[in-house]
Structure 1
Amino acid sequence: MANPKNSSKHPAASAREVLALNLIRQRGLKGWSQEALAFEAGLHRTFVAHVERQARNISLDNLERLALALEIRPYQLLEE
């Protein structure tokens, strides 16, 4: 069986990285600051900052809160 880690010259982005990039992009499309997104999602601004910096794990509950605030489906924050 092939080792999935060695199956490509360019490793796939981690889930944290994909989430961070999508969160930043979606927030930008709304023209929102981290503080505005946090307020809309009922979260703290530092939490949003940590997720965007890939410094914090996120629960499915908080993923749903962010997606709801951004008016998108949760899976869209995890799509490459």
Structure 2
Amino acid sequence: MKNSLQEHREQYGLSQRELAEHVGVTRQTINAVEGNRYDPSVELVFKLAAFFECSVEDVFHPDVDVATTASHHE
């Protein structure tokens, strides 16, 4: 899942460690999410969006083909 977490964090002038402390995870977790090496839990996704006062979709961009997914549910 692609994300713009680093951009949001930098806009707030926070280090990875500072953001991690605000949302209750380790700096390594923030680093891995920013590097697209780790898909965060739903809980963490919502905590991050709430912290940045934006929608989940403003920070996280799933690699989902909506047309393909929709056709499987018809």
Report the Cα distance in structure 1 between the residues aligned to 2:33 and 2:24, rounded to whole angstroms: 15
- Please give the TM-score of this superposition, normalised by the length of structure 2: 0.72
Gaps of 5+ in 2: 62-74
Contact 2:5 2:60 in 1 (8 A): no
Bigger strand share: 2
| Coordinate RMSD, CA, aligned | 1.3
Letter in 2 for 1:35: R
1:72 to partner: Cα distance: 1.7
* Range moving further from structure 2, 64-73 or 47-56: 64-73
The corresponding residue for 1:7 is: none
Q: Which has the higher contact order (CA 8 A, sep 6+)?
A: 2
Is residue 69 of structure 1 aligned with residue 44 of structure 2? no
- Please give the TM-score of this superposition, normalised by the length of structure 1: 0.67
Letter in 1 for 2:13: G
Alignment length (residue pairs): 61
Bigger helix share: 1
User: Which stretches of structure 1, 4 residues or more, deviate above 2 A after TM superposition?
Assistant: none
